[in-house]
Copies of this chain bind each other. A is one copy, B any other.
Amino acid sequence: MTVASSLVERILARDQRAVARAISKIENDSSDANEILKAVFTNSSRGLTVGITGPPGAGKSSLVDKLALHYRNLGKRVGIIAVDPSSPFTGGAILGDRIRMQTLANDPNVFIRSMATRGNLGGLARATIDAVAVLDAAGYDKILVETVGVGQDEVEIVKAADVSVVVLVPGMGDDIQAIKAGIMEIGDIFVINKSEREGVERTERELIALLEMSERPDGWHPPIVRTIATQNKGITEFEEAVERYAAFRQGQAASQSRRKSVAENRIIEILREKLLRRVLREAVTPEQLDQYALEVADRLKDPYSIVEEICRRIRIEEV
């Protein structure tokens, strides 16, 4: 039995350490990650994945923690993945050490992990979605994926979830426009957290106006839930909204087309990385790449000509 297949067996037996190790392998793009992923993919236990996004300062972590606690009170096993934007110069995650609620961290039925990109060949979205698949195979009933920011990766991650939640706060002022652009359309549910704050009425009114402007193809009307996560207020309503959408979504034709589009993205994403790796391994040495980069940095050559040069040197053909 290979290391990978014994790891898969332990994942299916709900061994937390095996889950953690598999996710590390995915993050580090270890050679047996593929084998693990193929096995877990077809062993889904159909847990519910909830993607939670919103701007910094919206209190997403507290909200996720309280939702997780709520699920624990209902007897559910919970996985939490906190996606950290990468540190572009050092490649490390700084959020890793963020303190989550002690009660959660010590609960054997809660798995918490933060993930970050590393390097150019990263693929944070891919790695996160793969980690969700591992948690799913390990029988977690609810998998909460929390992302910071409104970048492409975050959008990709949240789109891949079964239920997408956008968290806002009162009084975001004139820049609600900016938030809207990126994440408004992906929300199946909207949460106005810190709803004790001034401006909650106005934020809700603006949100309603925005939602009325856009008709969803599936006919779902995203509910707006007010919460004060730090005081544990509105969490039950939030959880009910999640379940309501999850139930609605089942069997929807639009839901199948969304799943298909998510699947296509994943295939393309994996293909893109695999092709790049293969070419970097087989046709461009690190020394060559270094030399090319130097020439572009000094503006002796442009990057497009260099890529053409590389592509001329390789042949891609069907066999």
Residues of chain A at the chain B interface (Cβ within 8 Å)? 34, 37-38, 41-42, 44, 55-59, 84-90, 93-95, 98, 117, 120-122, 124, 148-156, 159, 172-173, 175-186, 256, 259-268, 270-276, 278-280, 282-283, 289-290, 292-297, 299, 302-308, 310-319
Contact = CB atoms under 8 A, between A and B. Distances in A.
B313 A314 contact: no
B181 A270 contact: no
A274 B283 CA distance: 15
Nearest to A85: B182
A306 B160 CA distance: 18
Given A57-B57, A263-B293, A315-B317, 11 more contacts: A38-B302, A57-B173, A88-B156, A120-B264, A149-B149, A149-B154, A267-B306, A270-B303, A271-B279, A279-B316, A312-B319
Contacts of A37: 302, 304
Q: Is the interface of A mostly helix, strand, loop or mixed?
A: helix
A57 B172 contact: yes
What copy number does this chain have within its complex?
Answer: 2
A307 B271 contact: yes
A159 B299 CA distance: 17
A59 B271 contact: no
A55 B148 CA distance: 10
11 contacts: A34-B308, A41-B299, A44-B299, A85-B151, A87-B182, A88-B155, A95-B181, A117-B152, A260-B294, A279-B316, A283-B318
A89 B152 contact: no
Given A264-B293, A266-B303, A315 B311 contact: no
A113 to B, nearest CB: 15
Contacts of A117: 152
B186 A89 contact: yes
